Structure 1
Amino acid sequence: MRFAYLGSGSKGNALIVEAGDTRVLLDCGLPLVEVDARLARLGLMASDLTAIVVTHEHGDHIGGVAKLARRNKLPVWLTAGTRAAWKAAPDEWVRTLSPHRPITIGALEIVPYPVPHDAREPCQYVFGHASKRVGVLTDAGSVTPYMRESLTGLDALLLEFNHDRQMLLNGPYPAFLKSRVAGPKGHLSNAQAAELLGSLDISRLQHLVLTHLSETNNTPEHALAAASEVLGAQPDWLVCAHQDAGLDWRHVN
């Protein structure tokens, strides 16, 4: 089992999770030309994909999904609320899932869980294969007990460290946008993500990837420092995913 990011941030998100011959793309907020180029960087083509799974309808997560699905005849899995809010849904390829019930796509078991975010019916996912689990959490403004339960005991955690609170408060965003980002249905700050991390069983963790870093209100140094403080060190399996460079393949052994 392995995973890689095509891109992570407010300009476009896309993650690949692979097990055997199954390759699921989580979100696609990138134009097709970028998708093709970044897949090639990972040694893949769009025709190698099995399906697309969507977290929510915001453009940086869903903007490229319809064109990619239509061109490559890929099934798209998403909640009923996300489908209702998504005007460009390619109906012939859409499959609806419940945020409380797992689905199976090829060799991957995919367990959705709901999160608080300012979208219609957002959810995040834990991907499983054999005994290994990769959990993803991004685009959530606060942490619920169910989220903690979903993300404990993982082999890899891909976790939003969106903003440094002081950088956000002192930065250039207008007041309404600062309130949205920092609100209970916005995005996790470094401190919130670190607190969540500290509450989890991470004894099996092989990879911790910090994702969706704001280019305006955060830096990799700030995010890594917050995570390292919880871990008591900065191990080589702690990394940031980037907007343009994404993240190269990471193997779950």
Structure 2
Amino acid sequence: MRVSVLASGSTGNTSLIETGQHKILMDAGLSGKKIKTLLGEVGVDINDIDMAFLSHDHSDHSKGLGVLMRRYPRIAAFANSGTWEYLSESHKIGQIPVQQMNIIEPGQTKTFGDLDVTAFATSHDAAEPQYYVFSSAGKRMAFLTDTGYVSQKVKAVIEDADAYMMEFNYDDMMLRNGPYSWSLKQRILSDVGHLSNDDAGQALLDVVSNKTKHIFLAHRSQHNNTAKLAYDAAKQILVNGDANLPSDVKIMLTDPDEPTNLEQI
């Protein structure tokens, strides 16, 4: 399995997962044209994408999905029934080709040849948010952003993975002292908001193992965080703390405009 976080941040999110049989998008929160460009930067033709998994309806995760489905009919798109219902009724992503819509509900695991996908519910102010663990050839990668907290139930699903993409959205002091309105700050800090650097690090501390070789720090706020603060928090908690991680673990920053390398998981 190979993975690149193509773009991650408040302006748009999408990632690529490759197995021997599939090329998959995790979220599609940028324009179809931008997603095509980002895929090209890691050497992948958008015409080879055959699956897409959607976490929730917010535009920074969903806005390009409708265009991609209409333009590339081979893409089978997956979300839960609550997310599809909201997107269909709201027309946020335009007309959705019904024949390309597929349902995977929280708690379900589905198998697609050499790929197993497990969906799990998260806590966010969207219609029915969920994220996924992708498994192939004995390797597991867990994706988790856009959640106000990480429950014990979620930790049980994502523990002992080979790789993680985890939300490091904000630095607590930057958010509290920053320019946002108090109501928006409360929303971000709430149980249906986002994870701080410290919260994300502590959640990872509970689930990583000596199998974990890749950790992508994702969905970083451009107003309430910096790359250095996110990286330093992760390193302090996970590397300098007592996490059971291998010495060659890679902790990688992600970017809203530039893809990461295509990493072998």
Task: Output the TM-score relative to the length of structure 2.
Answer: 0.92
The Cα shift of 1:201 comes to 3.6
Is the aligned partner of 1:247 residue 2:264?
A: no
| 2:115 counterpart (91, 104, 108) | 108
3-state secondary structure, aligned to 1:169 = helix
User: Per-residue CA shift, 1:80-136, capped at 9, x if unaligned?
Assistant: 110111123332311111111111234211111101111111101000002110011
Aligned pairs, how many? 252
| 1:229 counterpart (216, 224, 236) | 236
Aligned-residue Cα RMSD (Å) equals: 1.3
* Aligned positions of 1:5-154 closer than 5 A: 5-73=5-73, 74-86=75-87, 87=91, 88=94, 89-154=96-161
In the other structure, the counterpart of 1:176 is 183
Whole-angstrom CA distance in 2 between matches of 1:37 and 1:90: 23
Is the aligned partner of 1:238 residue 2:251?
A: yes
The Cα shift of 1:12 comes to 0.6
Deviates more, 1:223-232 or 1:206-215: 223-232
> Structure 2: which 5+ runs fail to align?
241-246
User: Per-residue CA shift, 1:208-234, capped at 9, x if unaligned?
Assistant: 110000011001110111111122359
Deviates more, 1:80-89 or 1:218-227: 80-89
User: Per-residue CA shift, 1:56-86, capped at 9, x if unaligned?
Assistant: 0000000000000110011110001101111
What letter is aligned with 1:47?
A: N
The Cα shift of 1:5 comes to 1.6
The Cα shift of 1:44 comes to 1.1
In the other structure, the counterpart of 2:164 is 157
Q: CA 1:168 to 1:235, structure 2 compared with 1: closer, same or farther past 3 Å? A: farther
Whole-angstrom CA distance in 1 between matches of 2:142 and 2:79: 17
What letter is aligned with 2:140?
A: R
Deviates more, 1:225-234 or 1:215-224: 225-234
What letter is aligned with 2:120?
A: Y
Is the aligned partner of 1:208 residue 2:206?
A: no
What letter is aligned with 1:27?
A: D
The Cα shift of 1:51 comes to 0.8
Deviates more, 1:101-110 or 1:61-70: 101-110
What letter is aligned with 1:56?
A: H
3-state secondary structure, aligned to 1:247 = coil
Whole-angstrom CA distance in 2 between matches of 1:194 and 1:223: 9
Whole-angstrom CA distance in 2 between matches of 1:122 and 1:106: 26
- Percent of paired sites with the same residue: 33
Whole-angstrom CA distance in 2 between matches of 1:139 and 1:75: 23
Whole-angstrom CA distance in 2 between matches of 1:17 and 1:207: 14
Whole-angstrom CA distance in 2 between matches of 1:246 and 1:41: 7
3-state secondary structure, aligned to 1:110 = strand
The Cα shift of 1:236 comes to 6.2
Whole-angstrom CA distance in 2 between matches of 1:212 and 1:105: 28
| 2:194 counterpart (164, 184, 187) | 187
What letter is aligned with 1:180?
A: R
Whole-angstrom CA distance in 2 between matches of 1:235 and 1:85: 43
Task: Output the TM-score relative to the length of structure 1.
Answer: 0.96
